Amino acid sequence: MEHIVTVRDAVTAFADYLEPTNAELDAIEQEMPVILADVDLLDAHIATLDRAPSELDERRIRRARRRALAARVTLVNRAAGASVSGGAA
């Protein structure tokens, strides 16, 4: 019969590596506007799952979609600006 042992020591040995790094936290913080805009878009869609969308619902979905796209454009432009070093040629 094999004994069942806990794996606590094996797991806690890597506890320092389980935490996100500062670079990962910074990346999450930069992407947070996109994440929140996507959540708003999902909320707008979820609100219409059990019924036919009204005109107000359709406007809410369109606004949420535009905000999500704008947040993505801002993130991409910020990333492109950060990767370009120096001025225009």
Q: pLDDT in tens for each of the 89 residues of the chain?
A: 566 656 666 656 666 677 888 999 999 999 999 999 999 999 999 999 999 999 999 999 999 999 999 999 999 999 888 776 655 54
Q: What's the predicted TM-score (pTM) here?
A: 0.68
Q: For residue 89, is it within any domain?
A: no
Q: For residue 1, is it within any domain?
A: no
Q: For residue 28, is it within any domain?
A: yes
Domain containing residue 53: 21-83
Helices 22-46 + 55-83 axis angle, to 10: 160
Q: For residue 4, is it within any domain?
A: no
Element (H, E) at 52: none
Q: For residue 8, is it within any domain?
A: no
Q: For residue 71, is it within any domain?
A: yes
Number of separate domains in the chain: 1
Q: For residue 16, is it within any domain?
A: no
